[in-house]
A and B are shown apart, each in its own frame.
Chain A
Amino acid sequence: MPYLDHAATTPMLPEAIEAMTAQLGLLGNPSSLHRSGRAARRVVEEAREAMAQALGARPSEVVFTGGGTEADNLAIKGLYWSRRAEDDRRRRVLVSAVEHHAVLDSAQWLGEHEGAEIELLPVDRLGRVHPESLREALEREPHSAALVSVMWANNEVGTVQPIAELTQVARMYGVPIHSDAVQAIGQLPVDFAAAGLDAMTVTGHKIGGPIGVGVLLLGHDLTPVPVLHGGGQERDIRSGTLDTPAIAALAVAAELAVKRQPEHAERLIGLREDLIRRVVEVVPEAVLNGDPGPDLEARLPGNAHLSFPGCEGDALLMLLDARGIECSTGSACSAGIAQPSHVLLAMGQAEERARGSLRFSLGHTSTQADVDALVDAIGAVVERARRAGMKSGTKATDHAV
């Protein structure tokens, strides 16, 4: 079954499953003081060191969380609260217009309930934030900025952000900068210290680890107000019993992802370019969204996001699903209803084009056969979806979108 939705989640690495399984049968709360507790604690601390090593951080900068969304919430809310507590003028939260909802909605909530002023940093047609936009936004009123958050690479269209330049700008104004790097790890070289970031989100299940565990890397100067209060774990920043088996698996996955990143990126770029070229051959009106790259600085190696004029994304997805090909419309949903992607809208696309898009994402188990299967199916699928037309009732007339 050709699975082309690795950006949503990817199979656990056998080594990670092994590490997790080994821990599942053991007993011990890492916070307990006795021998069983200390044994569990040791596994956690060794994992912490491994994470730090893999990501260019110090062990003391590693905060284990229940996943990427939780880490993003902790970063955005926790840092806003702590920064504002230090200086009440710091009300502005600057986030890119293409952030994942875990960042965007956290910021929006702060705006609606906590007196924050949310400023969306615009992106260009490729989905990229320009450092000049950040500079201009901070220059306007430097003392009022609480924090900045820009993802390392966009989960929908794959555009890589100029993190090094952005951190330089943030540093110039002394404003902490956070980056959601969940999609980048394992595909791009990611080094927390080298990047100059103050905070960074990592999650297990995008890199072959388990769902339900992640890390917020936090620079030493930062003490976010906790989202989770309780037993005081993770230096009081994130209370809750540490999930030893999941943490062990996460560390193994992170180590392997970072180690294999160069060859993995090269292999994925090969498959991705082949996929894009041949899909466009079959469907000449299909348009690639984001930076065409093809190199690492431009686009996530595994990401191919295309618009198919005259088709609804959910019709395309359903037709591909019926043929066993699994991908995503790349947009948020609650009741299973696709909304036009805020990322595509921020890139200046019309709603109809935004609705007619599919995201194909490759991962460590992807093969040439997956790409071939998609290429074989896409012609007939687009043909049918086009027959069903757009929800508005209009059929496609203008392909030059």
Chain B
Amino acid sequence: MTSQNRPLRVLAAMSGGVDSAVAAARAAQAGHDVVGVHLALSSNPTSFRTGARGCCTLEDARDARRAADMIGIPFYVWDLAERFREDVIDDFVAEYAAGRTPNPCLRCNEKIKFAAVLDRALALGFDAVCTGHYAKIVETAGGDRELHRSADPDKDQSYVLGVLTAGQLAGAMFPLGESTKAAVRAEAARRGLAVAEKPDSHDICFIADGNTAGFLSGRLGEAPGEIIDHTGAVVGTHQGTHAFTIGQRRGLRIGTPAADGKPRYVLDISPVRRTVTVGPADMLDVDEVVGRKPRWCGPAPEGEVACSAQVRAHGAAVPARASLIGSELRIRLHRPARGVAPGQAIVLYDDTRVIGSATIAAAARTAA
């Protein structure tokens, strides 16, 4: 928890899951004046949760309400389905249509949770929005707020928060940063929160059945094309480039095995030419990444900065050097990374501190 000395008016976003419930409980216990809000983001809220997929159904709203009851805080539901559809879902589809691999959780944090929700909360007199993200906000002696990885490396969600600006961080509260998931579940049970045993939601919250390819086909239709290898030879066909992502190995319907017998991976996607390029694993390695639309958690870095770079939500950070040239971020990785997909975020760290992030526009292997 941040070291706030005075009680704040806190809007606790409660998804109906165990993390946001415990986060809200901790905020209330710390003496803040907390109001719980369930964000209704789904355009089809009548569906009930099936297992661990999907989120923000009526059942989730009820779980959030019950948690708010147990904690003893007011509870409301905010309808942000339209904004979510425009800023997150439509963006998701458009990115795939453009041959990129989006991260909707990042977009949701950037545009919904710490924008639409935060703006509304601040306007209504709240001081901060509290969520159940596993991340830490550390206040320096100088009074700056820094975003850091959480204590639980397996659950660390600083990557999807790397898109927050200093202004957004000023209004954020992450009470779970020092805890492990196991500890949070145990605490939920101790507090009598029924959601202690609720499975975590995985995959994409707005694709309830987990079938991303099916969802995208539904929105984009089928646009068949060729699968070619890195020499340009046609090796197969596909039903739509949106079913592929850089570094993907499964789902490639290739008739003949590669000459060297080794597995092939998606190297490139071109929706305009409707081609998917595949090749051997070592061709996936990149050590230069170009990022656009950089966002900084503090002041923008000057000159070249030594850091570590994380290129996907669940993946280790690689030592790197980054420079901001104009509005473009150029990152040189000290070790090659595999499967760096345009549309994902590259998040830069200084040890556990998040420096900032950018959207991956291109990646390349420099000549040896």
DSSP majority for the B interface? mixed
> Shortest distance in angstroms between A264's beta carbon and chain B's nearest beta carbon?
32
Instruction: Find chain B residues with CB under 8 A from A336 CB.
Output: 38, 40, 61, 65, 76-77
Q: How many A-B residue pairs have CB under 8 A?
A: 45
Instruction: Find chain A residues with CB under 8 A from B80 CB.
Output: 391
> Shortest distance in angstroms between A355's beta carbon and chain B's nearest beta carbon?
10
Contact in complex: A388, B76 (CB < 8 Å): no
DSSP majority for the A interface? helix
Instruction: Find chain B residues with CB under 8 A from A400 CB.
Output: none
> Shortest distance in angstroms between A390's beta carbon and chain B's nearest beta carbon?
11
Which residues 86-142 in B have Cβ within 8 Å of A in the complex? 119-120, 123-125
Closest A residue, CB atoms, query B64: A336
Instruction: Find chain A residues with CB under 8 A from B123 CB.
Output: 384, 387-389
B200 contacts A by Cβ under 8 Å: no
Contact of A335 with B76 at beta-carbon distance under 8 Å, contacts A319-B124, A384-B123 already known: no
B79 contacts A by Cβ under 8 Å: yes
Closest A residue, CB atoms, query B120: A388
Contact of A335 with B61 at beta-carbon distance under 8 Å, contacts A385-B124, A389-B123 already known: yes
B78 contacts A by Cβ under 8 Å: yes
Contact in complex: B124, A391 (CB < 8 Å): no
Instruction: Find chain A residues with CB under 8 A from B76 CB.
Output: 314, 318, 336
Interface size on B, residues (CB 8 A): 20
Q: Which of B35, B77, B125 contacts A335 (CB 8 A)?
A: B77
Contact in complex: A388, B124 (CB < 8 Å): yes
Closest A residue, CB atoms, query B58: A335
Would you give the 0/1 interface string for A286-323, flagging 1 where the beta carbon is closer than 8 Å to chain B?
Answer: 00000000000000000000000000001100110110
Contact in complex: A338, B58 (CB < 8 Å): no
Complex-state Cα separation, A388 to B116, whole angstroms: 10
A337 contacts B by Cβ under 8 Å: yes
Instruction: Find chain B residues with CB under 8 A from A391 CB.
Output: 79-80, 82-83
A334 contacts B by Cβ under 8 Å: yes
- Most A CB within 10 A of own CB, among B45, B58, B124: B124
Contact of A335 with B82 at beta-carbon distance under 8 Å, contacts A319-B124, A387-B123 already known: no
Instruction: Find chain B residues with CB under 8 A from A315 CB.
Output: 120, 124
B74 contacts A by Cβ under 8 Å: yes
Contact in complex: B124, A337 (CB < 8 Å): no
Instruction: Find chain B residues with CB under 8 A from A334 CB.
Output: 58
Q: Which of A321, A337, A384, A389 contacts B125 (CB 8 A)?
A: A384
> Shortest distance in angstroms between A334's beta carbon and chain B's nearest beta carbon?
7
Which residues 181-215 in A have Cβ within 8 Å of B in the complex? none
Which residues 49-91 in B have Cβ within 8 Å of A in the complex? 58, 61, 65, 74, 76-80, 82-83
Complex-state Cα separation, A197 to B77, whole angstroms: 40
Would you give the 0/1 interface string for B208-224, flagging 1 where the beta carbon is closer than 8 Å to chain A?
Answer: 00000000000000000
Instruction: Find chain A residues with CB under 8 A from B65 CB.
Output: 336
Q: Which of B35, B45, B79 contacts A338 (CB 8 A)?
A: B79
Q: Which of A319, A337, A389 contacts B40 (CB 8 A)?
A: A337
> Shortest distance in angstroms between B193's beta carbon and chain A's nearest beta carbon?
19
Would you give the 0/1 interface string for A350-389, flagging 1 where the beta carbon is closer than 8 Å to chain B?
Answer: 0000000000000000000000000000000000110111
- Most A CB within 10 A of own CB, among B80, B83, B120: B120
Which residues 5-40 in A have Cβ within 8 Å of B in the complex? none
Closest A residue, CB atoms, query B80: A391
Instruction: Find chain A residues with CB under 8 A from B82 CB.
Output: 391
Instruction: Find chain A residues with CB under 8 A from B40 CB.
Output: 335-337
- Most A CB within 10 A of own CB, among B45, B61, B77: B77
Contact in complex: A314, B78 (CB < 8 Å): yes
Complex-state Cα separation, A107 to B45, whole angstroms: 24
> Shortest distance in angstroms between A385's beta carbon and chain B's nearest beta carbon?
7
> Shortest distance in angstroms between A370's beta carbon and chain B's nearest beta carbon?
20
Instruction: Find chain A residues with CB under 8 A from B120 CB.
Output: 315, 388
Complex-state Cα separation, A168 to B237, whole angstroms: 73
Complex-state Cα separation, A389 to B58, whole angstroms: 26
Instruction: Find chain B residues with CB under 8 A from A314 CB.
Output: 76, 78
> Shortest distance in angstroms between B35's beta carbon and chain A's nearest beta carbon?
8
Q: Which of A321, A337, A384, A385 contacts B74 (CB 8 A)?
A: A321
Instruction: Find chain A residues with CB under 8 A from B119 CB.
Output: 388
Q: Which of A335, A338, A384 contacts B124 (CB 8 A)?
A: A384
Complex-state Cα separation, A321 to B74, whole angstroms: 9
> Shortest distance in angstroms between B86's beta carbon and chain A's nearest beta carbon?
10
- Most A CB within 10 A of own CB, among B40, B58, B65, B76: B76
- Most B CB within 10 A of own CB, among A315, A335, A337, A384: A335
Complex-state Cα separation, A266 to B76, whole angstroms: 36
Instruction: Find chain B residues with CB under 8 A from A385 CB.
Output: 124
Contact in complex: B45, A335 (CB < 8 Å): yes
> Shortest distance in angstroms between B232's beta carbon and chain A's nearest beta carbon?
47
Instruction: Find chain A residues with CB under 8 A from B83 CB.
Output: 391
Instruction: Find chain A residues with CB under 8 A from B61 CB.
Output: 335-336
Known: A387-B123, A388-B124, A391-B80. 9 other contacts (CB 8 A): A314-B76, A321-B74, A322-B35, A335-B61, A335-B77, A336-B38, A388-B119, A391-B79, A391-B82
Q: Can you name 6 A-B pairs with beta carbons within 8 Å?
A: A318-B76, A321-B74, A337-B40, A337-B77, A337-B78, A388-B124
